Structure formats: structure tokens, C-alpha cells
Amino acid sequence: MMINFQGFSKQKSPQVLFENALPASDPGTLEQLKELSSRRRAIESINQNSFVTEAIAREMSGGLTSRCEQNIQKVEQYLPLLGNLIHHVNIVGDNPKMARWISDLKIRWSSSLAPSSFFHLSGPKLYQMDNLHFELGMTLFVLGALLRDQALEVLSTDLVQSATILRKAAGIYQHLAQVVLPCLQPELAPERPPEALISVSAATTLVCLAEAQAVTVKKAEQKGNTGGLLAKLHYGVCEFLNEAIDTLHSATKQCKDISSLTDYITTCKMLHELLSYKYRAESLKTEGQIGFAIGVLYHVIQSSEKHTPREESWRLVYKQVIDDLTVLLRKYEHENEFVWHEKIPMQDELPVPQGVKIVSSILYQPQRWERTLVFKM
């Protein structure tokens, strides 16, 4: 991952007290609802200022030293309890009392993808939906985002683990798009967080797969693989990201602005396209086709000038890659002028780039604690 998008895991949610809204019929149910509230409170603290010391946080998590791993554990401890509650609510069915109790929970979440509004001076805008699948969907979105953060955390020490974690994140977003969010679509209000849209989760699945392949390419580069293979692997990343951009088109019709995510995807695609063409040019040069190598470099550098990344850190990386390719182009042009004298082909004569995709998502399997819940119906 040459650049990073940190906008996936910044959601916030006010406190939810399940035991206050859902009338328990027995002490066991009451205790489980209190535990559910306690587990959720731990998630609510993830994006809040914490006064817990590192030593206490490590002890509370059973010895986990990484703050990212600690946050993942918090979410994973909450989800089985939430799944059990959803199971028992579904058993009750369309009961007016249950619908009112779910409404009394006031499940509200902010969005990390939607732009902040000038009018919400007291904090981020909150979206409310009286549906437990909204709670499940937003929680899973946070879990996928935390896994992305963890993948970045271990990137410098373990490329294989980083790619595996990203594939797990892709599996979570795929589960969201295919299983969880379709239940929500009929109830979505005109104003909804992007995280509740099927297209956003589907696109994020592809982003995570692209990032996993990018890490895999990094491993291949370290092993000294040939330029032809590296060119195809980098272009495979582009193909994942092109699919993500196409998938996001429907989301942009439903949300006012998710341009930060779109710009990240576009910038990543352009960076890997530049690298793909770089390796392709080097491979062509090795094969004695320096004219084609020069044409490939000239074409991709010219195309790259049409895009300007929004983030300063992204622009710096983007400029460095273009500068490196420009130096390589000048070198090849100089060599061709004095040694080979090959004709530079037109753009439509250049070889068509080919991509190879070698990663897939790891299936997410939700866990549910099977505990009986009885309500005063």
C-alpha cells in the first residue's frame, strides 16, 4: 500500500442501553442485556479520548499489546451477543411492541465517509435507524476498517500476514454487501450514511482485495520476480480498483459526497498503473524493444498528468513515482538516440496491458452465542 485511506474507522455512536429499552422477563435475560450494553460501551470508546493507560488496556484485553488488536477484540466480543439478540427479535416477528422497543434504543451512528457539516458544531452528524441490522451493519463496517488498520500496522514486519488480514476484511465487507445490508434497503431513509449502502460495501470489498494484491506484489518485488510478472500483478490491482470505481457510481447517486474515498481509489489505481507500465517498459527493453518501451513510458506519464490527488501526502508519492518514470524515459530516449535508433510507435500500436488477479476474500463466518432471551410481550 503506497498510500493509505484512514477514513473507514472513524465512526462514532452514542450510548445504547439495551436493558432500559427491552423489558426482560427473567433475571437471566436482564443480565445478558446488561452484558450486551457493556460490550457495546467498549466499542463506543474506540474513537473517544481514552484515559486508560497502556498497561491497564493490555491487562483488560488479556495481554494484547497492539491498540488495534484490542479494538478488534472489543468488536468481536460484541458481535456474537448482538447476533443472539437479532435471532430472538426475528423469532418474535412483526410485533408492534418489539418495534417500539427497538425504536427506544435510538441506534445512531455517525459516518466516516460522509463530509462533516458546518451546521453540526456539537459533533458529527448522527444517522438513526430503528433496525438492529443497521447496528450490525455499522459494527461490521467498523470491524473491517479496524482489520485494514491492523494490516497497515504489520505491513513493515510481515507482508504475508498483512495480505491475509486484508483478505479477511474483504470477506467482512462482502458479507455486508450480500447478507446484512440487503435486509436494510427497504427501510433506508432519504438521508443515510454511505456505510449503509450495498454499493459502498461492495466497492470496499474490491478495495481491500486490491490492497491485499498490492502487498502481495511487494512480496514478489522483494523476491526479485521478473518485470513482466510484476507488470501483470500491478495491473491486476488496477482492475480491482476499476471495478470498485464502477461499483461506487450508484453510491454517488444516493450520497451527496464520498469524493474522499473515490479520490483514494482513483489515486491508487493511477499509482499501480504507473508501476505496471514501468515494469512493462523494463521488460520490453530487456527483450530488445526499446522503441515500444519509450512509447509505453511516454503514454502513461502523459495520462498521469490528468489526475491530481487531493491529499498532500498522496501528491508527494504520486509525484515521486512520475519523476522516477520520467528519469527512466529520458535514459531510454538517450540510449535510443545514440545506439538503437528505433522508431517510437503511436499509442494505438502499443501493447495492451494485461492484469492478473491472485487474491480472493476470506469468507466471514458470523458467530452467535446461543443464549435464551425472554421479553415481556
Tens-digit pLDDT profile for residues 231-280: 999 999 999 999 999 999 877 666 657 888 999 999 999 999 999 999 99
Q: Tell me the average pLDDT across 157-182.
A: 97
Between 297 and 117, whose confidence is greater? 297
DSSP string, 165-229: HHHHHHHHHHHIIIIIGGGTGGG--SS--GGG-HHHHHHHHHHHHHHHHHHHHHHHHHTT--HHH
At residue 124, the pLDDT reads 86
Partner residues linked to 24 by β-bridges: 375
Q: Look at residue 61 and tell me whether its pLDDT is greater than 90.
A: no
Check: CB of residue 141 under 8 Å from CB of residue 176.
yes
Q: Is 105 in contact with 18 (CB distance < 8 Å)?
A: yes
User: Mean pLDDT over residues 175-188, rounded?
Assistant: 90
Bridge partners for 128 per DSSP: 108
Report the range of poorest mean pLDDT among 71-75, 256-260, 336-340: 256-260
pLDDT computed for residue 185 by the predictor: 80
Count the residues in the chain.
Answer: 377
Whether residue 49 has pLDDT greater than 70: no
> Which range has the worst mean pLDDT, 60-74, 81-95, 109-123, 270-284?
109-123
Please determine, for residue 148, whether its predicted confidence score (pLDDT) is greater than 90.
yes
What cell numbers appear for 35 in the block?
A: 452484558
What are 17-40's pLDDT values in tens digits?
999 999 999 999 999 999 999 999
CA atoms within 13 A on the CB side of 27: 0
**Total Cβ atoms within 10 A of residue 97:** 12
Return the pLDDT at 118.
Answer: 39
Share of the chain above pLDDT 90, in %: 79
What's the pLDDT score for residue 117? 47
pLDDT higher than threshold 50 for residue 322: yes
Q: How confident is the model over 212-231, as pLDDT tens digits? A: 999 999 999 999 998 899 99
Q: With beta carbons less than 8 A apart as the criterion, state whether 259 and 5 touch.
A: no
Render 320-349 in DSSP notation, one character per residue: HHHHHHHHHHHHHHHHIIIII-PPPPPGGG
Q: Residue 194 — pLDDT band, cuts 50, 70, 90?
A: very high
Amino acid symbol at 76: E
- Euclidean distance between CA atoms 325 and 328, whole angstroms: 5
| Gap between the Cα atoms of 87 and 28, Å rounded | 17
pLDDT at 87: 95
pLDDT at res. 89 = 95
Q: What percent of the chain has pLDDT over 70?
A: 93
Q: Average of pLDDT values for 319-334?
A: 98
Q: Which of 113-122, 232-241, 290-299, 344-353 has the lowest mean pLDDT?
A: 113-122
Find cell 418474535 and name the residue.
Answer: 92
What mean pLDDT comes out for the span 327-352? Answer: 96
Average pLDDT across the chain, whole number: 92
pLDDT over threshold 50, residue 119: no
Tell me the angle at which helices 27-44 and 67-92 cross, rounded to the nearest 10 degrees: 140
The angle at the Cα of 283, spanning 277 to 287, to the nearest 5 degrees, equals 140
Whether residue 349 has pLDDT greater than 90: yes
The pLDDT of residue 122 is 62
**pLDDT computed for residue 51 by the predictor:** 54
